Amino acid sequence: MKRKVLSALLIAAMTMATVGCGGGQQAADTQAPAETEAPAEAETPADDAAADAEAPADSAAASGELITVGYAQVGAESDWRTANTESFKSTFTEENGYKLIFDDAQQKQENQIKAIRSFIQQEVDYIVVAPVVETGWETVLEEAKEAGIPVILSDRMMDVSDDTLYEAWVGGNFVKEGETCGDWLATYLEEQGRGEEEINMVTIQGTIGASAQVGRTEGMANKLAEHSNWKMLDMQSGEFTQAKGQEVMESFLKSYDDIDVVICENDNEAFGAIDAIKAAGKTCGPEGDIIVVSFDSVKAAFESMIAGDLNATFECNPLHGPRVAEIIQKLEAGEAVDKIQYVDEAYFDTSMDLESILAERAY
Ligand code: GZL
């Protein structure tokens, strides 16, 4: 609900509670703001509104200064996603002046569209979306624009003809991540004396149509074009999950007996691929038969490199919460914001002091 209206309602509720029966709980329950009737799919902390109405008069809630943010998250498919969700939940707290309404779409676009519509219905102040795939968003973004609710994109990109439908986008440079992976592979093979060797590769892609999948596949393709001795035997989607990654690698190992490199478009797919490689009686990592590389650089990927299973991981920073909050604060102050905002990213491999780096990692 718009902060101004909420503020008037809360003050009225507090006044009635004081003058009427004194039972703040009763008055608060009947006077709680509309967002307590949030639709089932939005994870709305139902008791928060009641708590807000009971809060001390000088709290942000009582004065209605909270900025309500509806966040349509992709799902909970990977360690990266968990870290990304945590970044939002630890940033958009009441202490920081926000009320977060969080929705987990379980990797389904139709659920994200439903969540966005419920945020519009609840008249949130901002809508943040991590779009599961790039296309199919124009209609619902037009509805948000019609309702006067600014939309901010986080993580993956939307392919829309009118970029005024969103205020800004924060995320990783996925094409660059793919190209950095290709360049690392070329150097690594050269160092192994295999720079001219015929190299057979397979790719376990992410969710097809997700900008992380589109960009990483494109970046790696750009590098394949630079190496005529590299051959991409096959590519299949592992849906960014460990289970599907293992399944796809099992099928690759049945189809091809001479795989030199597997490129996994996120760390969780790599964990599954490594299980499949070992189950097939093969080895992987710096001392193994198959080179395994992946994207994200979550803590478990460091543990896998330290264990000698994973060769390298290409970072995709999930800590978007503070960046999105910065954008909202600028919009609140009427300041211009950059439309495209890349996060800082690196890569990590087994030549590095991984234990020391891991000790400092935030995710
Ligand atoms: C990248 C993000 C991807 C991660 C996966 O920004 O969209 O989705 O690489 C996650 O781990 O599932």
Nearest-CA residue for atom 3 of ligand 1? 212
pLDDT tens digits, residue range 142-200?
999 999 999 999 999 999 999 999 999 999 999 999 999 999 999 999 999 999 999 99
What does the alpha-carbon distance between residue 293 and residue 214 come to, in Å, rounded to a whole number?
17
17 has a pLDDT exceeding 80 = no
Buried b (16+ CB within 10 A) or exposed e, 64-103: bebbbbbbbbbbebbbbbebbbebbeebbebeebbbbbbb
Q: For ligand 1, is residue 240 a contact (CB within 6 Å)?
A: yes
In sequence order, what are the residues at sequence separation of 6 or more whose Cβ sits closer than 8 angstroms to the Cβ of residue 278? 284
Structure tokens at 39: 């639709």
Work out the pLDDT band at 22, boundaries 50, 70, 90.
very low
Average per-residue pLDDT for the chain: 88
With a 6 A CB cut-off, is 84 part of the ligand 1 pocket? no
Ligand 1 centre distance from Cα of residue 240 (Å):
7
**CA of 198: how far to CAs of 11, 204, 227, in Å?**
73, 20, 10
Q: Is 244 in the pocket of ligand 1 (CB under 6 A)?
A: no
Any atom of ligand 1 within 6 Å of the Cβ of 216: no
Residue 295 Cβ contacting ligand 1 at under 6 Å:
yes
| Of 70, 33, 69, 39, residue with least CA distance to 52 | 33
pLDDT in tens, 77-121: 999 999 999 999 999 999 999 999 999 999 999 999 999 999 999
Per-residue confidence band for 9, with pLDDT thresholds at 50, 70 and 90: low
Q: For residue 96, how far is its CA from the centre of ligand 1 (angstroms)?
A: 27
Q: Are 130 and 74 in contact (CB under 8 A)?
A: yes
Q: Is 92 in the pocket of ligand 1 (CB under 6 A)?
A: no
Integer Cα distance of 100 and 37 in angstroms: 15
**Cβ(171) to ligand 1 under 6 A?**
yes
State the distance from the centre of ligand 1 to the C-alpha of 81, rounded, in angstroms: 6
Q: Of ligand 1's atoms, which has the minimum distance to the CA of residue 240? A: 12
pLDDT at 215 over 80: yes
Residue 356 has pLDDT above 80, yes or no: yes
Cα of 172 vs centre of ligand 1, distance in Å, is 9
Residue of the nearest CA to atom 1 in ligand 1?
Answer: 212
Please tell me if the CB atom of residue 169 comes closer than 6 angstroms to any atom of ligand 1. no
Q: Is the CB of residue 154 below 6 angstroms from any atom belonging to ligand 1?
A: no
Q: How far apart are the CA of 271 and the centre of ligand 1, in A?
A: 15
Pocket test for ligand 1, best of 77, 296, 344 (most atoms within 8 A of CB): 296
Residue 314's nearest CA partner among 295, 327, 299 is 295
**Residue 309 beta carbon below 6 angstroms from any ligand 1 atom:** no
- At 41 the pLDDT is 38
Q: How far is the CA of 317 from the centre of ligand 1 (A)?
A: 9
pLDDT band, very low/low/confident/very high, at 3 (cuts 50, 70, 90): low
238 Cβ closer than 6 Å to some ligand 1 atom = no
Residue from 107, 129, 155 to probe ligand 1 pocket by mutation (most atoms less than 8 Å from CB) = 155
Phi and psi, residue 168, nearest 5°:
-165, 165
Helix extents (H) in 99-193: 109-121, 138-146, 174-191
Residue 76 CA, ligand 1 centroid: distance in Å = 10
Written as one letter, the residue type at 362 is A
Q: Is the CB of 315 under 6 A from ligand 1?
A: no
pLDDT of residue 65: 86
Cα–ligand 1 centroid distance for 77 (angstroms): 9
